[in-house]
Amino acid sequence: MKILTRNQTSSTYYFLITVVSAVGILFSCSPKQGVAGTKTITAEHLAQGKVVFDNSCGKCHDLPNPSDHNAQDWVGIMNSMAPKAKLNEEQHQMVYDYIVSVK
Ligand code: HEC
């Protein structure tokens, strides 16, 4: 019983090392942020989101106030506004993350 426990512990340990190095390799190869699943929100990502927001979201109406809606509502609003503002998927995500971060 004791041996079994020790084996499980060490395989968990090796599994973690594998995951950590795999994530390291993934991120070193890919500069993209905000990819679903392995999402890492950086200050740079949010700053880019603000730039896109400032430039794209005040064209047809006043620049919206992030605190007017909750994070859940913003999902739906962004789904209808991102195509209007012609945002690509990455811009859509960074604008959403920016809005939710300032509210
Ligand atoms: C091409 C014009 C256009 C652009 C660009 C645009 N919007 Fe809008 N937006 C509208 C119109 C029209 C409405 C009102 C009708 C509607 O809700 O579809 C609206 C409504 C809204 C509302 C109010 C929705 C509600 O339920 O109260 C919010 C918030 C909003 N837009 C956010 C944004 C954000 C964020 C962006 C940038 C990603 C953006 N809009 C870009 C046209 C635009």
Give 5-16 pLDDT, tens digit per residue.
555 555 555 544
pLDDT for residue 54:
98
Reported residue count of the chain is: 103
Q: Are residues 47 and 89 in the same domain?
A: yes
Q: Does the CB atom of residue 86 touch ligand 1 within 6 A? A: no
Q: How far is the CA of 36 from the centre of ligand 1 (A)?
A: 24
pLDDT for residue 103:
72
pLDDT for residue 4:
54
Residues of the chain below pLDDT 50: 15-26, 29-35
What is the domain extent for residue 19? 1-30
- Residue in 81, 92, 94 to alter for ligand 1 test, most ligand atoms within 8 A of Cβ: 81
**Whole-model pTM over 0.85:** no
pLDDT for residue 9:
56
Interatomic CA distance for residues 8 and 103, integer angstroms? 44
Q: Are residues 47 and 8 in the same domain?
A: no
The domain tally of the chain equals 2
Helix (H) or strand (E) holding 21: helix 2-29
pLDDT for residue 39:
61
Q: Are residues 38 and 26 in the same domain?
A: no
DSSP code, position 85:
T
